Structure 1
């Protein structure tokens, strides 16, 4: 599995498909969090949304970095399409984890916020949760599940909006609403515990989306 992950990451960097989603992340982060006077946890909610949008595109970029012929060769060598899906998800998450510290530090550098351990922990967990969910959504929008670029883009936008706006759909929407409700629990370490549950739900969402993407994509492969 490790060689497959290294190959997937190398293919991503060689193709330079990581550049547009990374640029999108930086632009969204600058627009939504620069000089924001809101409490730190509220600002981190915006940063987490940036991670969510970028992670969907990053995952699609990782999955689509291989051309169809190259994917067939890769499948022939790995012999299991599930390994390719796992390598795609792990590679995307690894790259997204590199962006998370930027989402944590940038608001501190551009605004005046009261920094607390609980706030930093909540921001970290929220961004990782959004990265996991975004990766799962990206797997459903990429090849071989969706082959056409236009359809993939529209599906990605629709799913991001659903994840953000549908209140009954965990874990992202409930988590972000909890972060922006102005609760005093955010100032205590015990206030971090509910967010650990959101992170577990995010990991479960990634696994579910990965399994669904493998099932749908296996028919096309």
Structure 2
């Protein structure tokens, strides 16, 4: 599995498909968080939403870096479709972890915020949750689930909007609402305030698992 993940990451970097989603994330981060004097947790909500959109694109880029013939060769060596799905998700998440670090540091460098351990913890958990959900959505928008690029793009945009805007759909929308509510404006947050966000992260991991399972089943039929 480690070799498969290394190969998947190397293929992503060689293809340079990571550049457009990374650029999108940096632009959204700069526009939404630069010089923002608001509460740190609220700023991290904007960073999390930006990472959600970028994560979907990054996962699609990882999955589609292989052409169909290359995928067949990879499947012949991996022997199981599930291993390929796991490698794609793990590779995407490893790259997204680096973006999480940027998302945590950039608002501190460009804005004026009261930095607390609890605020950083909430931001990190929130961005991780968005990365998990975005990776799951990306698996459903990439090959072999969706083959055509145009359909994949439209599906990705639609699913990101649904995840962000449907208030009753956990975990991203309720989490971001909590982060931008009046209570988030308090600077005297404690680590206890970060506990509910762990639940959101667990839901995010469950969403990724469900999406990965669906992608595996579709891929097994089409491969």
Q: Which runs of 4+ in 1 moved over 4 A?
A: none
Gaps of 5+ in 2: none
CA contact (8 A) 1:18 1:58 kept: yes
Q: Counterparts in 2 of 1:77-88, with a 5 A limit? A: 77-88=77-88
Q: Which secondary structure does the structure 1 equivalent of 2:182 belong to?
A: coil
CA contact (8 A) 1:119 1:186 kept: no
CA distance in 2, matches of 1:213, 1:219: 10
Q: Counterparts in 2 of 1:176-191, with a 5 A limit? A: 176-183=176-183, 184=186, 187-191=189-193
**CA shift in 2, pair 1:185/1:197, >3 Å:** farther
CA distance in 1, matches of 2:57, 2:211: 15
Q: Counterparts in 2 of 1:142-157, with a 5 A limit? A: 142-157=142-157
CA contact (8 A) 1:58 1:92 kept: yes
CA distance in 2, matches of 1:63, 1:74: 12
CA distance in 2, matches of 1:163, 1:72: 32
Q: Does 1:216 align with 2:205?
A: no
Gaps of 5+ in 1: none
Cα deviation, 1:60-113, whole Å, max 9, x if unaligned, reads: 000000000000011111110110000000000000001101101111111101
Cα deviation, 1:163-192, whole Å, max 9, x if unaligned, reads: 000111100000000000021497121100
CA distance in 1, matches of 2:218, 2:168: 25
CA distance in 1, matches of 2:187, 2:126: 15
CA distance in 1, matches of 2:93, 2:182: 30
TM-score, with normalisation over the residues of structure 2? Answer: 0.97
**CA shift in 2, pair 1:27/1:188, >3 Å:** same
Q: Which secondary structure does the structure 1 equivalent of 2:115 belong to?
A: coil
Number of positions where the alignment pairs a residue of Structure 1 with one of Structure 2: 221
1:194 to 180, 193, 196: 196
CA contact (8 A) 2:17 2:62 kept: yes
CA distance in 2, matches of 1:192, 1:33: 21
Equivalent residue, structure 2, for 1:24: 24
CA contact (8 A) 1:37 1:113 kept: yes
Q: CA RMSD in A?
A: 1.0
TM-score, with normalisation over the residues of structure 1? Answer: 0.98
CA contact (8 A) 1:39 1:113 kept: yes
